[in-house]
Amino acid sequence: SQKIEQNSEALNIQEGKTATLTCNYTNYSPAYLQWYRQDPGRGPVFLLLIRENEKEKRKERLKVTFDTTLKQSLFHITASQPADSATYLCALDLTGGGNKLTFGTGTQLKVEL
Amino acid sequence: DAGVIQSPRHEVTEMGQEVTLRCKPISGHDYLFWYRQTMMRGLELLIYFNNNVPIDDSGMPEDRFSAKMPNASFSTLKIQPSEPRDSAVYFCASSGTSGEGDTQYFGPGTRLTVL
């Protein structure tokens, strides 16, 4: 069955370092992939969208890559700050219909001083 | 815009009772989504609407769950009768166009506890 996998273990890094989160998917080639941030007690907030014909996308300190051969997306936060601590979710439309997103379980990031 | 509005923010009820969750999407958005989030299963799509019409309800767990969207500015998710396993955070989200990959804007969620 179609699946989205994110590292379920929390990622702890030191302030100033680059955080790298992974999203792997199986059995489908989505036209795009989205990344969301979720803080405790709040709904997810959209960060970035990358399309299948884009290898890389950047927004301020964020960078997303999309390798459709490996069926993997990497999400990087450079010069990480304690305020970046949150859970990060990747999401794909696994049906091809354009609007029905399936979310990964998320990876919790903790940036320590 | 105030964003997606959900009510109530917290609901505690007893098993067997009817629960109604409410959502007001962002004005002008034509897609509305209902999700459920638990530690075990993560964020799951229950149902989504386009222009007030249900498009896909394959994620609705059982007949005890129903959702309506009587107009463009209001939707409800009803659970009748509720069970302890329904305890979760329920999110409503909306998106703005009919194009592929549109950003979804989430509400703050309703935390439901069924005793």
pLDDT in tens, B21-39: 999 999 999 999 999 999 9
Minimum distance, in Å, between the CA of residue A39 and any CA atom of chain B: 11
Query: What does the pLDDT average to over A16-28?
Result: 92
Residues of B with Cβ-Cβ distance to A103 under 8 angstroms: 42-44
Show Cβ contacts of residue B39 under 8 Å, excluding neighbours closer than 6 positions: none
Q: How many helices (H) and strands (E) does chain A have?
A: 0, 11
Residue A95: CB atoms within 10 Å? 15
Residue for token pair 């700050």: A81
What ranges in A1-113 are assigned the alpha helix state H?
none
Token digits for A65?
């890559």
pLDDT at A75: 97
pLDDT in tens, B100-114: 567 899 999 999 999
Show Cβ contacts of residue B89 under 8 Å, excluding neighbours closer than 6 positions: B36, B37, B38, B109, B110, B111, B112
Residues of A with Cβ-Cβ distance to B46 under 8 angstroms: none
Query: What does the pLDDT average to over A101-109?
Result: 93
